[in-house]
Amino acid sequence: MAQEYYGYVGSILYVDLSKEKVEQRRLEYDDIDNFLGGIGLATKIIVEEIPDPRIDPFSPDNILVFMTGPLTGSPVYGAARYVVASKSPLTMAWGESHISGYWGPELKKAGFDGIVIRGKATTPVYLFIRDGVIEFRDASKLWGLDVFKTDEAIKKDVGDESIRVAAIGPAGENLSRIACIASDIQPNGPRTGGRTGMGAVMGSKNLKAIAVKGSGKIKIKDVSRVSSILSRLLPLIMSSPTAQILASFGTAGEVEEFYEYGDMPIKNFTLGEFDGYRNITGQSFREKGIVVDVYGCWACPVKCWKVVEVDGRRIRAPEYETIASLGTLLMIDDPNYLAKVNYLCYRYGIDTISVGVTIAWAIECFERGLITARDTGGMELKWGDKEVVVKLIEMIGKRVGFGNILAEGCRQASRIIGRGTEEFCMHVKGTEMPMHDSRAFKGMGLQYATSNRGADHLYGLFFRVEQGQRVHDLKIYERVDRFEYKGKGWMVATMEMWSEIQESMVTCKFIDIPPAHIAGLYTYVTGIRKTVPDLLKIGKRIFTLKRLFNIANGITRTDDILPKRFLKEFLKEGGSKNQVVELEPMLKEYYEYMGWDENGIPKKEVIEELGLGKYIAKLRINI
C-alpha cells in the first residue's frame, strides 16, 4: 500500500546535469522522523551524496540542494521559505542560504519537496518543472543577463508570466564567492539567498535558473485544528512590537533601535556614533516617499516586504542589513543611493552583507596604507564615496580589475593581498559579519563564533533574547542582560537548535510563533506527533551533523572565534561603549552543554545518542 503524505509531497527530484538525467525518489519516513525536511533533510542528503567532504566546492561532484519543509506552502503563517545548501566556496566548509517568497510553495505544488543537483551542464541550461514534468532548456542566450532580464526572458520562453523563477546573475556565473540566488524576481522582488556563495555553486554547474509551476495541492491532516491554532496565533503575532514595526517599515524600521543599542556597525565596526543614520531609517524612507508599496510572502500577515522604484522598476526596498552594510558601515547616509545600490546588487546577484563588509575591509586597508592605488588600478578608496562603492560592486559582479580580488570575499581577498590585511577583515569561518555588533549583544558573539555557516545572525537570533524576549517553551524565563556573558552558553545553544527546526519546517523567524505552537502545527499538518523536546533533539542532530561535516573540512576550536576587534577593542561612544566580548568563558559553557570536548569535537556518546555514528566513516573523520 502506498504511503500517504500530509504536509510533505513525498517526492524528491535528483538531477544530474552532466548526463541530463533525472530521477524521482520517494521521501522516506525514517528521514522525516530524524531530519524533518528543509535544512535537516538537505544536511543528511549532502553528507550521504557528496563523494568526499573535502571536495572543491566548484567540482561537478559537489551537491547543491534546494529543499522545502513540511510547513512550506501550508496555511501556517510565514510558511513561505525554502533552503539552498551545499559545500560553500566562501567558507570551504558548510554552506546554506534561506529564501522566502513564493518559489518554495510553487515547487511543492509542482510535485516535489526538494531538488538535489549534481554534475555540470556542458553548456548553460535552466530547468523548467511543471507538475512533475522536468525539462532541460538552453540558457546560452541568458548567460550574462542580470536576474531581472533573466526572469523576463524565461517567462517569455515558457510563455507563462505566472511561473516562479530562481536564478543567478553575472556574479554567480563568474564564480564570485559572495554570489547569491534570487527568486520571486518580479514584480516587486527579488527575495535572495545571500549567504555563503550558493549562487557561485549554481554558476559552477552552468545552471542559470530553475523555473517552477504547479497546480497541485498540499494535503493537511487536520485542517480544523490547524485553523484553530492559527486563529489564536494571529492577534498574538500582530500585537508584538516587532511585528508592528515590520508591518509598518520592514526590517529597516529597526535601524534607530539597533543604533541606540550600539549594535549598528559604523566605519567597519570602529565607531559607535554616526549622525547620518537618521537619514536612512525605515521611517525616513517612508517620509521621503521612497517606499511606494507593501508586499508580502506566502501566508504572511505581517508583510514586511517594502517596495521602492528605481530606474522605472519596482523592487524590494533595502532591508536593515543592506542599509547598514552599504550605508553606515561605509559612512554613507543617502537613502536614494541605498535604493540604487541595493538594486545593483540584485541585478548582479551579490550578497549585500558580504559585499559591504569586503568593501569596508578594502577601504580601511587603503586608509592604513596596506592596500594602494597600485592594487586598485588607480582608484582611491575612502569612506563615504558612493561612486567608488558603485564602481567596485560592478567590478565584483563582472570579476574585473580589483573586483576580481574582492569577489573572493574578504577572507580570501586578504590572503591574496597579505601585508597584515586579514586583521581588518570582519568574518567568522570566512563568512563576513552581519550587521549586529556583538559588543552590544554578547550572546550574539557566541552565536557568530559557533554557527556552522560562519558569522550568522539568523541561527538563533539571540539578539532578540538579549533585547528582552522570553522563550518559555525553551526554558528562557527571565530577562537577559545583553552585556552579561555568564550563563549564556546553554541559551545560545538552545536557540541554535531551535533555529534548525525553524529552517527544517521551514518557517519565517520574523513571525514569532512559539515553539509549542510550532510542534502543534507540525502535528496537525502532517499527522506525525512531535513535542518540543522531540524537536529539540532533532535540531541538535542536524546541528551536530553539520559540525561533523565542518570537522571533516578542518574546522576546530580555533575557528570558533571572533575578529580581534570584538575581543580587544572598545568603542569610545555609543550604546555599547567600553564593551568587549568575553568569548572564552561562554564558549566553554557552550561546549559543555553541547557535549563537545575541549577542541570543539562532539563526544562519542553524543554522536551515538543522536544516531549519527553511521556518518563518521562517510565523513572520513576519527572520533
**Does residue 1 have a pLDDT over 50?**
no
Residues 321-363 have pLDDT tens digits of 999 999 999 999 999 999 999 999 999 999 999 999 999 999 9
Q: How far apart are CA 180 and CA 170, in angstroms?
A: 10
Residue type, 493: A
> By C-alpha distance, which of 104, 97, 112 is closest to 164?
104
CATH 1.10.599.10 intervals, the chain: 438-511+531-619
What is the mean pLDDT of the segment spanning 234-261?
96
Residues 167-179 have pLDDT tens digits of 999 999 999 999 9
Buried b (16+ CB within 10 A) or exposed e, 475-485: ebeeebebeeb
Span 11-213: which CATH code? 3.60.9.10
Q: How far apart are CA 335 and CA 344, in angstroms?
A: 14
Q: How far apart are CA 110 and CA 267, in angstroms?
A: 46
Q: How far apart are CA 227 and CA 239, in angstroms?
A: 19
Q: How far apart are CA 618 and CA 549, in angstroms?
A: 10
What is the mean pLDDT of the segment spanning 461-487?
95
**Does residue 607 have a pLDDT over 90?**
yes
pLDDT band of 3, cuts 50, 70, 90: confident
The angle subtended at Cα 503 by Cα 500 and Cα 506, nearest 5°, is: 140
**Does residue 508 have a pLDDT over 90?**
yes
Answer whether 0.75 is exceeded by the pTM.
yes
> By C-alpha distance, which of 543, 515, 533, 382 is closest to 44?
543
Residues forming a β-bridge with 179: 350
Mean pLDDT of the chain: 97
- Find how far residue 517's CA is from the centre of its chain: 24
SS3 (DSSP) at 329: helix
Residue type, 275: D
CA dihedral for 511, 113, 120, 48, sign (positive or negative): positive
* pLDDT score at 353: 98
The phi-psi region of residue 211 (left if phi > 0; otherwise alpha if psi is between -120 and 50; otherwise beta) is: beta
- Find how far residue 290's CA is from the centre of its chain: 26
What is the mean pLDDT of the segment spanning 395-410?
98
Residues forming a β-bridge with 298: none
Residue type, 253: G
Cis ω before 515 (30° cut-off from 0): no
* pLDDT score at 35: 98
* pLDDT score at 623: 87
Span 241-425: which CATH code? 1.10.569.10
Q: How far apart are CA 55 and CA 47, in angstroms?
A: 12
SS3 (DSSP) at 368: coil
Q: How far apart are CA 90 and CA 267, in angstroms?
A: 23
> By C-alpha distance, which of 437, 171, 462, 447 is closest to 324?
437
Beta-strand relationship, 125-130 and 207-213: parallel
Topology classification of domain 438-511+531-619: 1.10.599
Task: Using alpha carbons, list the distances in angstroms from residue 91 to 11, 70, 375, 448.
Answer: 30, 29, 24, 14
Residue type, 381: L
Q: How far apart are CA 228 and CA 231, in angstroms?
A: 5
What is the mean pLDDT of the segment spanning 402-411?
98
Residues 6 or more apart from 298 whose CB is under 8 A from it?
73, 79, 80, 100, 101, 102, 104, 105
CATH 1.10.569.10 intervals, the chain: 241-425
Q: Is 391 within 8 Å of 341 (Cβ atoms)?
A: no
CATH 3.60.9.10 intervals, the chain: 11-213
Residues forming a β-bridge with 263: none
Task: Using alpha carbons, list the distances in angstroms from residue 26 to 3, 50, 113, 526.
Answer: 10, 19, 10, 16
Residues forming a β-bridge with 181: 193
* pLDDT score at 560: 98
Joined together, the cell numbers standing for residue 484 give 552579561
What is the mean pLDDT of the segment spanning 518-539?
98
**Does residue 2 have a pLDDT over 90?**
no
